[in-house]
Amino acid sequence: MSAASLELEEGQVASIVGWSGDMGHLRVLNKLTPKLDLESSVVARVAQDHPEMSFILAGPGLIFHQPTGVSWLSSSFSVGLGVGCGGVRGGEGGCERGAGGLSVGVDLAVGELWGLHLYSGNRLQVSVAQDVPSTLWGLHALGLQWDAWDSGLVSLEFDPWWYVNRVEQRDAAIITLGLGILWDG
């Protein structure tokens, strides 16, 4: 879900839950000023067939909304920190490796047409973890958001992602369904 596609009023809060197969996330956005949101997020994946890919991450972030000068186009920039754990040792899954990272991103949104917004979100993230080389991640989203009712939304995203470090590289894509609720904080 792109932060640029959400138009919160000052003091308003949005909770967004998304899931795709074995992965889910919860994001809470709090509008601090007209141009600044505080984001808190938790992402978890339980991969039964590849336990080494299971993880849980949590952390804060800041989202800066930037005027574009065009009424139908909105943009935002983000920076975030995350800590978590995951991985496998001795064939057992679980929270075996501590990890941390820093992300930067840019989001764009086009809309609104019949309550629909088309959006794109892009993140670059550097992560460090126990017994794993420093890794560069690319996380992308192309989605459609429908403002389903006055205080909620539904989104559908195509999410390609990749990572690379000195030992390996990998890429994949998932489809994510999201539901959001807005309220006054």
Q: How far is CA 96 from the centre of its chain?
A: 23
Residue 65, Cβ density class (10 Å: 0-12 exposed, 13-18 middle, ≥19 buried): buried
The reported pLDDT for the residue numbered 91 is: 58
Which CATH number does the domain housing residue 41 bear?
A: 2.40.128
- Summarised one tens digit per residue, pLDDT across range 48-97 is 777 777 888 999 999 999 888 888 899 999 999 999 988 765 655 567 78
Alpha-carbon distance values, 170 to 9, 42, 53, 136, 183 (Å): 39, 23, 12, 11, 39
More confident residue, 30 or 22: 30
Q: Name the band, by pLDDT with cuts 50, 70 and 90, for residue 15.
A: confident
The reported pLDDT for the residue numbered 158 is: 95
Give the separation between CA 173 and CA 181, rounded to whole angstroms: 26
* Tokens representing residue 157 in the block: 């995203």
Number of domains in the chain: 1
Q: Is the peptide bond preceding residue 10 cis, with omega within 30 degrees of 0? A: no
10 Å Cβ neighbour count for 113?
Answer: 9
More confident residue, 14 or 113: 14
Q: In which domain, by residue range, is 159 found?
A: 3-184
- Summarised one tens digit per residue, pLDDT across range 133-177 is 899 999 999 999 988 777 888 999 999 999 999 999 999 999 999
Q: Three-class SS of residue 91?
A: coil
Residue 1 has pLDDT above 60, yes or no: no
Average pLDDT of the residues in 100-126: 91
The strand pairing partners of 128, in sequence order, are 100
Give the separation between CA 107 and CA 81, rounded to whole angstroms: 17
Give the separation between CA 124 and CA 101, rounded to whole angstroms: 10
The reported pLDDT for the residue numbered 3 is: 65
Give the separation between CA 40 and CA 36, rounded to whole angstroms: 13
Average pLDDT of the residues in 10-21: 83
* Tokens representing residue 126 in the block: 């550097």
Q: On the CB side of 38, how many CA atoms lie within 13 Å of its CA? A: 9
